[in-house]
Structure 1
Amino acid sequence: MWWWREVVGLVLAGECEGCGRGRVVLCEGCRAALCGGVPGRVRPGAEAVGLPPVHAAAAYRDVVRAVLLAHKERGALALAGPLGVALAGAVRDAVGGRDAVLVPVPSARGTVRARGHDAMRRIALAAAGELRRTGTAARVAAVLRQRRPVADQAGLSSPQRLANLAGALEVVPGGERLLAHGSGRVVLVDDLMTTGATLTEAARAVRTSFTGARVYGVAAGEATEERPATGAHGPGVPPLRAAVVAAPSDSFETNRN
């Protein structure tokens, strides 16, 4: 079960997950590297048709890479908070402080079971909380699911990744109602963007369920295969991503958190 990891992480803090120094989960210097960057618009080298505009909180390297991997792969659950703060900055950059619903890109059920937690859902919840704390209406709606297995993306080219993911995601029954209750933006949240194939497929799934939606898109993550489009990033811009989809009505519902 995941809960014991969280208790141990809070009570018996070991080395900083960013730099390995000090008996804290994340030291002040690494927290600043993670959360103190300037979010900005990024694009992959070869942009897929249907990819929303992507906004990244930080570049995927050094402290940012270490923190994200520690949270996702090693169950350092206390890092969801600072990762959520970093992601919230990218969401603000994309939607200009307007209301948003955050939709985590799903991992395979087997992956979630093996890790013992749903990394992206936790970070999305933390980001939504940070946005609300600072005056932006935000909710999380985990309405996407995998409808078929996909191959490991490692080593695949951009066209191969697009083909691998084509038609792999769908909105759960009733999920369109959660998306259609807002006049604001739907933000697709993922931990790492490389070629943009996952965001492209997630946006397709939302558009299919939510006919006529205009995709504004934002992503809060930039990996090594990405190139910044404009603007400068801080020393550690977290590898998170989100895609914003415009919705036609006025209020958002959230599914059970």
Structure 2
Amino acid sequence: MVLCSVLTEWVSALADLVLEQHCAGCGGLDGPLCAACREVVDRGPWRCPARFGCPPVWAAGAYTGRGRAVLLAFKNGGYRALAEPLSRGLAAAVRAAAPTAERISLVPVPGRRSAVRKRGYDPVRTVGAGAAVRLRAQGVAARVVCPLRYSRPTRDQVGLGAAARWANLSGAMRARWPGKSPAVGDAVVVVDDVLTTGATLAEAARALTAAGIRVAGAAVVAERLCRVVTDPSQTATAGPARSPPGGAPHAMCREIQKSRWKTVPDNRAISG
């Protein structure tokens, strides 16, 4: 058993060494991320167009081209060294979501247990922890808190249409803050890897609000510049083109005209 464990660690270390010789974004030899691809990853943050039911969301980058390749390499390709540059971008997005807060609680969206077991780690929690370290280095009292849990089984969101994504996650999370609720003045920011329809962030925010936790905003590693759900009961429709900062145009949808996001006045339990 001990020999098997040691061999597994050696193989894993060797695989990491081989992978990190190549850039995850472009495939070049300057790995794990070349200077040009670092600029792509560090393009943000920017304020995302509103999604139904979501708090204000800021993105560190765009889920397209090299940015998409880098994130997928980190999540599914074994490039764990990419946690450092990705957490740097996420930290900037978190700070944009709570620009004046002296204390920030980063709340990662929970990963599905089967996916976490398969990968051997939780990508969102890992990058969130790295972002908290960077924020603390900037003088912000940042920490990662994990109050969200799934209350029922859910499917993988990949491959699902907009309406199916909402149906899959609607009412699927519950929140229980460890210990006492966050003090008044703490900024709670939900973090995730990719923003698409907003179904995941909306459900996370709903669960936190139901537990009496005020959500200041949300931050994601990357925004998928595609279609936006303005109403989960209807099919999303394509909107005008928009360009991420410094990037080429991509299809983007119309912003929601009226905010439907419900907040509570402070981080205290909701009564009634």
Q: Retained in 2: the 8 A contact 1:58–1:234?
A: no
- 1:157-204 Cα deviation digits (max 9, x unpaired): 3333222111111124xx253542352211111100100000000001
Match of 1:21 in 2: 28
Trace 1:72-151 onto structure 2 (pairs within 5 A). Answer: 72-98=75-101, 99-151=103-155
Q: Retained in 2: the 8 A contact 1:43–1:229?
A: no
Instruction: Please state how far the C-alpha of 1:54 moved relative to its aligned partner.
Output: 0.9
Unaligned segments of structure 2, at least 5 residues = 229-239, 249-262
- 1:144-166 Cα deviation digits (max 9, x unpaired): 11121112323433333222111
Which has the higher Rg, Structure 1 or Structure 2? 2
The amino acid of 1:93's aligned partner reads: A
2:28 alignment partner, SS class:
coil
Taking a change above 3 Å as real, the CA distance of residues 97 and 87 of structure 1, as seen in their structure-2 partners, is farther
RMSD: 3.0
Taking a change above 3 Å as real, the CA distance of residues 231 and 22 of structure 1, as seen in their structure-2 partners, is closer
Within 2, Cα distance between the matches of 1:185 and 1:61? 30
Count of residue pairs brought into register by the alignment: 234
Q: Retained in 2: the 8 A contact 1:179–1:186?
A: no
Q: Retained in 2: the 8 A contact 1:80–1:123?
A: yes
1:248 alignment partner, SS class:
coil
2:217 alignment partner, SS class:
coil
Instruction: Please state how far the C-alpha of 1:137 moved relative to its aligned partner.
Output: 1.7
Within the alignment, does 1:215 sit opposite 2:219 as a pair? no
Which gives a bigger RCO, structure 1 or 2 (Cα 8 Å, sep 6+)? 1
Taking a change above 3 Å as real, the CA distance of residues 68 and 200 of structure 1, as seen in their structure-2 partners, is same
Instruction: Please state how far the C-alpha of 1:116 moved relative to its aligned partner.
Output: 1.3
Q: Retained in 2: the 8 A contact 1:193–1:222?
A: yes
Which TM-score applies when normalising by structure 2?
0.76
Within 2, Cα distance between the matches of 1:78 and 1:182? 36
Within 1, Cα distance between the matches of 2:265 and 2:78? 33
Within 1, Cα distance between the matches of 2:122 and 2:180? 20
Q: Paired residue for 2:60, among 39, 57, 60?
A: 57
Q: Retained in 1: the 8 A contact 2:107–2:146?
A: yes
Unaligned segments of structure 1, at least 5 residues = 237-243, 250-257
Within the alignment, does 1:170 sit opposite 2:174 as a pair? yes
Instruction: Please state how far the C-alpha of 1:97 moved relative to its aligned partner.
Output: 4.5
Within 1, Cα distance between the matches of 2:219 and 2:265? 14
- 1:216-246 Cα deviation digits (max 9, x unpaired): 312333103257999952449xxxxxxx998
- 1:43-94 Cα deviation digits (max 9, x unpaired): 25xx32x311111111111121011001101121111111000101111111
The amino acid of 1:52's aligned partner reads: P
Within 2, Cα distance between the matches of 1:95 and 1:230? 25
Within 1, Cα distance between the matches of 2:214 and 2:124? 24
The amino acid of 2:99's aligned partner reads: G
Identity of aligned residues (%): 42
